[in-house]
Amino acid sequence: MEKLLTPATLGLLAAVALLAYLVTRRGFFATTATFAASENNDSEWPLVWVRPGSWPCLASPNRRVRVYWEPPVAETVAQAVLTAATRVDEILDEVFPRLRRPRLRLTLLADCHHPRQRVAMTGFGLHAMVDTADQEAWLASHRAREFLFSAVPHEWVEAAVALRLYWRDRKTRWVGEGAADYAAYRVGLALAPEVARARLAILAERLGPVTGTECFDLTDFRVATQAQPGKPTEAQRRARRGYAVSFALFYWLAERRGPAEVARLLAQAMGGSWPTGARARRAFERALGSDGPALTAVPLAWVAERLQEATRALPAHP
């Protein structure tokens, strides 16, 4: 026993512990808690941690989706959310068949308890706050549909990319955001065109007014730190554009080269024992060819056109 506790073993143990701490701190294995919390940023209520482990739970047949709900949120609502998320899971499998997504835990919080909550849970998850005064109306609301058909597919796909790419190379954000918004677009196209339309409007707004021949360097797309209330800074404005540019690139590739090619490229970008931004860049640059834009200089006018094309491709509002 004593021989095992050499300075070298202790050093190794400390390094492993530090690595585990850093990875957890970066939020890849922690529950994402932005949805409900960000809506109540100006709330005077204290932040409350909730642990849904003891709450009722429903799981999809393949166990990849679990829905926890906090009474008085109704089981029927949880069931409807599970059905929707299971459908999202199936579509994401079609869009990116080789992408290994983590299991998803959805938590439905009752808004009547604490207006500002964070969910304490291991694994990947998202939470929504249910309007308990009229749960059926909440389920049909744009907010709930946006959560299910935009936020869930986006974060689920991005979590898979982040786990493999982001922490190895920070200059791969465009891969994750592009894949995430493209996947969410495909989900919207199939299940909720109005949600996809709203998301495209947000991307167009983030792109901002396009003038002249201005270009965007995707390989330098970094998300600006914590959005401040009020007017965004120049760095934040630039960073927000990255979402629109990333989506436009994936959309264009799917349209011109076919959706299967996009799936293949993502798998290639994330493949190998140590994926890097340079590797992802090479894969996509080859596919963009001479008729596509350069990753380091995507014209903003080109991006605006793609957003308009994607919007026109959506079925008209029923």
Amino acid at site 297: A
Give whichever of 80 and 106 is closer to Zn ion, judged by the CB atom: 106
- Cβ proximity of 148 and 88 under 8 Å: yes
Nearer to Zn ion, 70 or 158 (CB): 158
The nearer residue to Zn ion, 139 or 162, going by C-beta atoms, is 162
Question: Please, which residue, 111 or 158, has the CB nearer to Zn ion?
Answer: 158
Output the smallest distance, CB 202 to Zn ion, in A.
12
Q: Which stretch binds Zn ion (CB under 5 A): 61-69, 155-163, 164-172, 248-256?
A: 155-163
Of residues 174-233, those binding Zn ion (CB under 5 A) = 177, 180
Candidates 51-59, 173-181, 234-242, 283-291; binding stretch for Zn ion (CB under 5 A):
173-181
**Whole-number minimum distance, CB 157 to Zn ion, in Å?**
9
Q: Of the ranges 45-53, 78-86, 156-164, 303-311, which one interacts with Zn ion (CB under 5 A)? A: 156-164
Cβ-contact 60, 140 below 8 angstroms? no
* Number of residues this chain uses to bind Zn ion (CB under 5 A): 3
158 counts as binding Zn ion under rule CB under 5 A: yes
> How many C-alpha atoms does 8 have within 13 Å on its Cβ side?
2
Nearest CB to Zn ion, comparing residues 223 and 314: 223
Query: Is the peptide bond between 72 and the residue preceding it cis, with omega within 30 degrees of 0?
Result: yes
Question: Rounded to the nearest whole angstrom, what is the least distance from the CB of residue 135 to Zn ion in the complex?
Answer: 28
Tell which residue, 183, 197, 174, 113, has the closest CA to residue 151: 183
Cβ proximity to Zn ion, 68 vs 243, nearer residue: 243
Only one of the segments 30-38, 65-73, 150-158, 231-239 lies at the binding site for Zn ion (rule: CB under 5 A); that segment is 150-158
* Stretch near Zn ion under the rule CB under 5 A, chosen from 14-22, 77-85, 154-162, 308-316: 154-162
Identify residues 51-110 at the interface with Zn ion (CB under 5 A). none
Closest contact distance (angstroms) between CB of 26 and Zn ion is 14
Phi, psi of 156 (to 5 degrees): -65, -45
**Which residues form the interface with Zn ion (CB under 5 A)?**
158, 177, 180
